Structure 1
Amino acid sequence: MFMNKFLLLLTLSSILIACSPAPEGKKDGDAVKGVTLSSNKLGPQNFNDGWLFTEGDDENFALASFDDTKWTTLRLPHDWSVSHPFEEKWDGATAYLPGGMGWYRKTFSTPTTEKETLTFINFDGIYNHSTVYINGQKIGGEVNGYTPFTLDLSEHLKPEGEENVLAVRVDRSRYIDSRWYPGSGIYRNVTLYQKPKLHIPVWGTYITTPEITQDNGRVNIAITIKNTLSSQQSSLYRTRIYDAAGNKILVDGGTVTVNAGEEFIVEQKLDVKSPELWDTESPYLYSAETELIQNGQVVDRIKTPLGFRTIEYKPDTGFYLNGKHTLIKGVNIHHDAGLVGAAVPEDVWRRRLLTLKASGVNAIRMAHNPASRELMALCDELGLLVQAEIFDEWDYPKDKRLNQQERHDDYISRGYADWFQTHAHKDLKAAVLRDRNHPSLIMWSIGNEIEWTYPRYAAATGYFEMEANGNYFFNPPYITPEEIKHRFDTSEEGEYVLAKTAKKLSEWVKALDTTRPVIANMILPSVSHISGYTDALDIVGYSYRRVIYDYGRKLFPEKMIMGTENVVQWHEWKAVIEREFVAGTFLWTGIDYMGEAHGGWPRKGVASGMLDLAGFKKPSFHMFKSLWNSEPHVYLTTQDIEKSVYTLDNTGKVVEKEEGSWAQRVWYWHDVERHWNYTEGLNTVVEAYSNCDELELFVNGESYGKQNLADHADRIFKWSVPYAAGEIRATGACGASDIIETTEAPTDFVVTADKTLLSLDEKSVSHLEIQLTDKQGKPVTHTESDIRWQVPEGLDLMGVDNGWVNNVQAFQSTSVTTHEGRALAIIRGLKAGTYKVQMTQEDGATKHVSIEVKGD
């Protein structure tokens, strides 16, 4: 149990114990100067290029002699499912896209290396049930599609200069094994490492900053050194600290001796003077470069991110970053990104995260499994706090077609729960070891809405009886805590006990990282608090249960509470800011995501986000920008009053059809439009989302009156306006304003490219955004048009989309129909050169964008 005041500074509280009785190294800073590099390629090597792929399955695909000349050549990461058309015969849980079987092969020459060199390959994620072969011999693989793993190729490589064949079989035949779209294939980066037999393993450093003052930042570095030789080995080790500009500011080293066949953990304690702090506004990043040196040569090198920041959690007052009270303004995101599926280029994540950050988002919950290494690094760079989640399933499965209703037990829907008993420990360990050095990471989540799957929990709540109508979303518990506990304690336990599993998982995390709290996302917290589940946690996350924040605080005051899934509505944030003890929230979701579309054809995803599937801003984005930013902001929307959630009272004032319904809106924003094109005289409602204290609406220059924000409990300004062509404009005394104009039919379009200079790698892409316009150049959002792309050889049209979850046009197409006048294409470079991309509207308007691709 932790103290009520749970203070977490980045500290190494456990004692690091060597794995062998070798003597500790001594400081020897002078001895590590003036050395030269060995001929080994030090550090990670990109291994994404030159792969071949085919769908299907044949045991001969693993053989080095197999003729793969007809396979598709590609650059990883790769998701084969997203290249298929959407078809109703598949399942909405996984976005009406198929799974299947796939094979990857890569031929490469054995590197020229020094003697006693090892070659490792690291896969950051393969979805899923992968098997890896080298020259026809099976060497490993992973069941879990989110688990990063490293394999030793050394013993299986042919002599230097000769060719090897690496083959990867991916079994995604369980095509409904997820509750959302997971993708298929080697959908994350692959990296090659060459290391000496005395080396620092991949993820072999652990950096903490236990003491941070204005004058000094203490850096503790735990370096794991592994000796795979048959004799005891000695080496020099050295760590350099670099500032954000790449300037070396500190160097420290020593000597170490490691017994044959064993590991040793050596500790360094360094002091950085006047450290710059990492925070959400100024995410200052240092780096630590650690080297091993033998016979005057640098034989191994590993770089580790370093950020100075403190995190503190108080049950009474919430979260503190660097000693400053900080509300967590978070969103959940899944690991797909619309038209690129699960194989997401870094530039796609960058565009999406920067857009979210512009709304005031300062935190990301990686729902519901470990994110990619690149996404974690981007959060470091951009200043986004991270809750890293590890599991969505534990001992018992969730129904992939419809959570909470365990009706299916067929092969195609079997998921990770079938392997949890045997794989959970190593999968959790891999996730923590890979990510524990990221300064952005502030908490570990061990599970998401686990309670549904265990016996006793749902029945003990009292919500799911006839008289309660199952309404746990907005109602406090119907029965007392004593009755809940009695029901729970007197019911049958089952084969697995949730509280015991939670305790085990929490202990596994803390064995590897003591610097961050453990949390879980609880869907039935009224039971979880009394069942022993929360005893395993440092922080308690509530999933859609803001109605019992006060209940939890009163009955269980020793635990800090926060929202870990809440709908993108004002009432959720209102509940946070009215309670000092709630640390913040993670809204569901920051971005629309594919899958979880139960019986929803042609709906392929969930439209709960602040951004749509193409990354375009939605009305809810602007509401939260007005809530989470101090910069003045106004955004207008409109609607036919008959189609709206409003009516007029007997004074002509706009009121809700159901009084107070704003406080119980859930997954989706109410239906509004971003245009001013209606039938003349039609009664409309004009809404404005703003943080201005006062707004005035003008229709064709005529004032429709001023309104005060304080008069709107739902924080939405509303005017009743008979439609007249022209313009509407809202102006605030704060200096912000917004305008919507009547437009004609679309005759043209504008195209905006976020990048016109690309690199030849898996990170770099250009987003080409299309906006329809009329003959006056005004944006048209009320009617649609088809856009065709012509992309020359040398570029790759990764896909096209309009962002609408109900659009089931194939992503892998050269044309798309706009939605709200918008469309998106994502382009990457395949060959160095300068190219022209042509876009043509169905009525004949044509535009060109010049894209330059730089060579290596």
Structure 2
Amino acid sequence: MKKEHIYLLIFIAAIIGVIMFLPWKSKAENKTSVSDFNFGWEFQKSLESTSFESLSAQEWRSVNLPHDWIVENDFDSTLVYNAKATGYLNGEGYGYYRKSFPTTVNKDEMCYVLFDGIYNNSEVYVNGAKLGIHPYGYSPFYYDITPFLNNVGSTNIMEVKVDHSRYADSRWYTGAGIYRNVQLITTSKLHIPVWGAYITTPTVTKQKAEVKIDVEVTNQFSTEKEFKLVTEIYDEEDIKVASVTEHSSINKQSDKSLIQQLLIEKPKLWSIDTPHLYKAETYIINDKDTVAVKRTTFGIRTISFDPKKGFFLNGENLKIKGVCLHHDAGLVGAAVPKGVWKRRLKILKEGGCNAIRISHNPASQEFLDLCDEMGLLVQDEMFDEWDNPKDKRFNQNEQDKDYVTRGYTEHFQEWAEKDLKAIIKSHRNHPSIIQWSIGNEIEWTYPRNASATGFFDNMSWKGNYFWSEPPFSPEEIKTQLETLPKGKYDIGQTAKKLSRWIKELDTTRPVTANLILPSASHLSGYTEALDVVGYSYRRVLYDYGHKNYPDKPIMGTENLGQYHEWKAVMERPFIAGTFLWTGIDYMGEIREPWPVRVSTSGLLNTAGFPRGSYYMFKSLWTEKPTIYIATQNIEKSLNTIDENGNIVPKDPEAWKKALWSWQKVNNHWNYNKGEIINVELYSNCKTVELFLDEKSLGKKHLSDFDDHIYKWAVPFSEGTLKAVGEKNGETIVESISTAASPSQIKLTVDKNQLKGDHYDVLHVVAQLLDSKGNPVKVDDRTLSFSVKGPAKILGVDSGWEKNIEKFQSNKSTTHNGKTLLIIQSQNKVGEIAITAEGKGLKSGETIIKIK
């Protein structure tokens, strides 16, 4: 045979091989589709419950999902009674959504609609047929809509009713509506159901990783089916690293579970610094035709909690440097674009944060995807209340039981298992999740647990709940629990039930909870259900818990954003870490009078602008040299001048018991001449020298400050305040300068171009500058924004807790000289011109491309 003929045969064989490989690759896209179902909806709202037929035909308006109807409203001071929960935004009423879509499902196919979250009490209809109800606003759910579809080629109507008449049913801002993504899934009657692939890695070393895939298969045909189950695993560069094929059969109208095992050589481990992800593509092949495909993203990593040594990721000891987050995001409310969360998480991670506690409810899939991609550990929390309700206006005490505040407790007995298992099944492939939390501060709702501690109603005790160990010994607490009157439900039994339901579906992660009364919970049966015990504002009990319950891993799961909290963690190897309350300000749960609209405990405000506490924790949580200059008039500060002329704390012990809010400090150098100014620096440098216009004000050592804050007392004079620090041979310089009156606006954007996909967002920060380009932070102005081109304004927010200007506007008053505008692309390419104008100011302009 001639050489050229041999080459031709080899070429033909290669082509045949490729063709043999192609059936599921080429046809899978046609057999299984996951379609974006967010566009083309109509919406209207009513204060009364009614039928779709009775709604006004003229009041429907077009919306795209996700959609939160509450954040569209004005802040309302008349809501004082319920404002603690609602953030002064009124979301009372009923929301109605509808969407038309064609039938494309043939006789051998099925169609599902998947909602990642509707807040709340939803009813879903297709062509007038009611598919079901779903009370919980945070759990995903889906319906098989196949039986209710019209003939192929015909149009269908999907309708969703949202009952938010109980508009203060949580202690925080909830949003209302279809506020998370919706997908339409079309697949063969022989398919892998929604959430039907579960991936674990039972054995992981640097040399290899065993990958186990539990696959559910459903056959809705009227005949038995034989099939091949093929799974291929691809790395981040889309290179196939493993594959496996199983031959099987399944009876008609039945379900079947199969297990596939694969081996990956030299796996790339998922970690906070290198969040490597893999993709598993699982195909069902029937009679040489790929009929269904399931794509699953996962990571390879190991986690463990040790009662003596804390947390380990991939065998390395790691402190959890976490923050708690609610699900709202300032001006966008609860309907948060992925890009908004990405910016917020990026800022937190730059500050040293490596973990997020999602409080007090499970997160969206998009949020978890971001944590997977960015390398953030996650505690995924299920519920804020169980058998008994919480008063949404005032935590701890049940003061009122009216209609508008009744929440999930109304549905817990019937729905808890269904909701919890839907959450676990839909979230368990995310490598970022390291803990399942079954509840938050539940103990308040079971009265005998509080009474048993001895902290309350104990006239003979003179201690403080926050800073003292329990007045009762474990033995006495146990006796109290045995003798105090019991309610209808037992906290320990409920906890064990919830934990058991989780472990029926996932045993690769520990179960935890956030305990506000751990001294009682260790004895009530509650902690028997937990693998890791979380302490809420109880760092004073770390040693108590470790001594009395040495076999239980302990960590802080809700703690104050103060130095003393982290100091307590660092001094104790057995404490795995902490979650600070909170990473970012959130609406609702307000403790201050109108017009404060948020809880101000965040390291960042609602616009994503950092507070002093952010920079404090950046100095504690990062190794790279950092300095932040904070200033304040000495009388308004926490410090004073002693008889020797030294700056000292007014109360040397105050820092040890600082609570939720950081001290009021500024980041400017604009005061009255001669005023004594408290200058405090948050830094991880061992030494820092301070200068005013190049004149040294002295070099100081961090070890001399018990509260980890450098301090100088500086008589004010105009100029530049500069701090020079050194750490590990690296020098860092930070400065602030006196600014004149504002004369111009500077616009800064977080990216240079947008995707024209209706989703991508741009953050625009407008900063006032003086004529020399210095940031002006003491003279705020009202700015007007305009956007020309294929994009829309989502809203504005200065981040100031007392700012009650409407979010969805093009006008915003700066705070500390700046404010935030967020815009979102449309489904077009081109350019957008963004302009900010203010009276007497040179306009700020920028141009962004959309591709």
Q: Same fold (TM over 0.5)?
A: yes
Structure 1 residue aligned with 2:348:
356
CA distance in 2, matches of 1:428, 1:190: 20
Q: How far has the Cα of 1:479 moved from its partner?
A: 2.2
From 195, 209, 217, the counterpart of 1:217: 209
**Which residue of 830, 845, 848 maps to 1:848?**
845
Equivalents in 2 of 1:581, 1:202: separation in Å?
40
Partner of 1:162: 154
Report deviation, 1:463: 1.1
The corresponding residue for 1:278 is: 270
1:40·1:194 contact (CA, 8 Å) conserved in 2? Answer: no
Cα-to-partner distance string for 1:744-779 (whole Å, 9 max, x where unaligned) = 011112101113422243531000111111110001
Structure 1 residue 849, shift from structure 2 partner: 2.2
Structure 2 CA distance for partners of 1:57 and 1:155, relative to 1, 3 Å: farther
1:40·1:114 contact (CA, 8 Å) conserved in 2? no
The residue correspondences of 1:736-755 to structure 2 (distance < 5 A) are: 736-755=732-751
1:69 offset after TM fit, Å? 6.2
Root mean square deviation of aligned Cα: 1.7
Q: Which amino acid aligns with 2:760?
A: S
- Cα distance in structure 1, aligned partners of 2:137 and 2:462: 37
In 2, Cα distance between equivalents of 1:469 and 1:262: 65
Q: Distance in 1 between matches of 2:70 and 2:746?
A: 31
Task: Give 1:659 deviation, angstroms.
Answer: 2.0
Matched residues in 2 for 1:54 and 1:564: separation?
A: 40
Q: Give the distance between the partners of 2:799 and 2:348, measured in 1 at CA.
A: 16
2:510 counterpart residue number = 517
Mapping of 1:207-356 within 5 angstroms?
207-356=199-348
| Contact 1:634 1:689 (8 Å CA) reproduced | yes
State the number of aligned residues. Answer: 824
Q: TM-score, normalised by structure 2?
A: 0.95
Match of residue 838 from structure 1: 835
The 3-state SS of whatever aligns with 1:827 is: strand
Matched, 1:699 2:689: no
| Number of the residue aligned with 2:614 | 621
| Mapped pair 1:759 → 2:749 | no
- Conserved? CA contact 2:208–2:267, under 8 Å: yes
Q: Deviations over 1:159-200 (max 9, x none)?
A: 111111111001111110010001010000000100111110
**Shift, 1:366, TM fit:** 0.6
Match of 2:13 in 1: none
Identity across the alignment (%): 48
Change over 3 Å in CA distance of 1:779–1:220 after alignment to 2 = same
- Runs of 5+ unmatched residues, structure 2: 1-17
Quote how far apart the aligned CAs of 1:725 are: 0.7
Work out whether residues 110 and 146 of structure 2, in 8 Å CA contact, stay in contact via their aligned partners in 1.
yes
* Letter matched to residue 43 of structure 2: F
Paired residue for 2:533? 540
CA drift of 1:296 comes to 2.1
State the alpha-carbon separation in 2 of the partners of residues 658 and 646 from structure 1: 8
Aligned partner of residue 809 in structure 2, secondary structure? coil
What pairs up with 1:600-679 in 2 under 5 angstroms? Answer: 600-679=593-672
1:768-779 matches, cutoff 5 A: 768-779=764-775
What is the CA-CA distance between 1:30 and the residue it aligns to? Answer: 12
How far off is 1:483 after superposition?
A: 1.7
Larger deviation: 601-610 or 423-432?
601-610
Match of residue 49 from structure 1: 39
Letter in 2 for 1:86: F
**In the alignment, does 2:168 pair up with 1:176?**
yes
Kindly indicate whether the alpha-carbon contact (under 8 Å) linking 1:55 and 1:101 is maintained by their aligned counterparts in 2: yes
Name the SS for the 1:265 alignment partner: strand
Change (3 A) 1:663 1:349: same
Could you say what secondary structure the match of 2:202 adopts? coil
Cross-structure match for 2:816:
820
Gaps of 5+ in 1: 1-28
Question: Where does residue 804 of structure 1 map in the other structure?
Answer: 800
Query: Structure 1 residue 392: deviation in Å?
Result: 0.7
Q: Distance in 1 between matches of 2:841 and 2:779?
A: 16
How far, CA to CA, are the matches of 1:70 and 1:609 in structure 2? 39
Deviation at residue 381 of structure 1 after TM alignment: 0.3
Partner in structure 1 of residue 7 of structure 2: none
The offset of 1:58, in angstroms, is: 7.4
> For the Cα contact (< 8 Å) 2:689–2:699, is it kept in 1?
yes
Pick the aligned partner of 2:27 from 33, 37, 60. 37
- Conserved? CA contact 1:92–1:600, under 8 Å: no
CA contact (8 A) 2:595 2:804 kept: yes
Change (3 A) 1:802 1:134: same
Deviations 1:204-245 (A, max 9, x none): 000000111222111000000011222222211111101011
CA distance in 1, matches of 2:28, 2:741: 67
Q: Distance in 2 between the 1:59 and 1:176 partners?
A: 17
Distance (Å, rounded) in 1 between the aligned partners of 2:751 and 2:770: 26
Does the 8 Å CA contact 1:75/1:762 hold for their aligned counterparts?
A: no
Aligned to 2:10: none
Q: TM-score, normalised by structure 1?
A: 0.94
Out of 142, 145, 158, which is 1:153 matched to? Answer: 145
Deviation per residue, 1:240-285 (Å, 9 max, x gap): 1010111222221122211222211111000011101100000011
Say which of 116, 128, 141 aligns to 2:120: 128
Give the whole-Å Cα distance in 1 for the aligned partners of 2:517 and 2:296: 39
Q: Secondary structure at the match of 1:749?
A: strand
Are the aligned partners of 1:82 and 1:811 in contact in 2 as well (CA < 8 Å)?
Answer: yes
The one-letter code of the counterpart of 2:64 is R
> Separation in 1 of the partners of 2:496 and 2:696?
62
Indicate conservation of the 8 Å contact 2:436/2:512, yes or no: yes
Q: Tell me which of 52, 55, 66 is aligned to 1:62.
A: 52
1:447-485 per-residue CA deviation (whole Å, 9 max, x = no partner) reads 000000002111111111345578311111122222222
Whether contact under 8 Å (1:755, 1:765) holds in the other structure is no
Shift of 1:41: 5.2
Are 1:463 and 1:469, in contact at CA under 8 Å, matched by a contact in 2?
A: no
Please say if 1:383 is aligned against 2:395.
no
Aligned-partner Cα distance in 2 for 1:670–1:695: 22
- Tell me the secondary structure at the aligned position of residue 530 of structure 1: coil
Q: How has the CA–CA distance of structure 1 residues 244 and 133 changed in structure 2, closer, same or farther, with 3 Å as cutoff?
A: same
* Letter in structure 1 aligned against 2:606: L
Deviations 1:52-96 (A, max 9, x none): 111116777535x98856421121000000000010222231111
Q: CA deviation at 1:702?
A: 1.4
Q: Over residues 658-696 of structure 1, what are the superposed CA-to-partner deviations in whole Å (9 max), with x where a residue is unaligned? A: 221011101000111111111100011100010000011
Query: Which structure would you say has the larger RCO, counting Cα contacts within 8 Å and 6 or more residues apart?
Result: 1
Superposed CA offset, 1:534-568 (max 9, x none): 11111100000000100000000010000000010
CA distance in 1, matches of 2:705, 2:460: 34
- When residues 39 and 478 of structure 1 are mapped into structure 2, their CA distance, relative to the original with a 3 A threshold, is closer
SS at match of 2:615: helix
Of residues 79, 83, 86, the one that matches 2:68 is 79
Most deviating of 188-197 and 53-62? 53-62
SS in 2 for 1:456: helix
Q: Is structure 2 residue 573 aligned with structure 1 residue 580?
A: yes
Q: Distance in 2 between matches of 1:81 and 1:43?
A: 33
Corresponding position of 2:495: 502
SS at match of 1:264: strand
Moved more, 386-395 or 782-791: 782-791
SS of the aligned residue for 1:125 comes to: coil
Q: How many angstroms apart in 2 are the aligned matches of 1:503 and 1:311?
A: 23
Deviation at 1:32, TM superposition (A): 7.0
The answer on whether the counterparts of 2:561 and 2:601 sit within 8 Å (CA) in structure 1 is: yes
Shift in Å, 1:33: 6.3
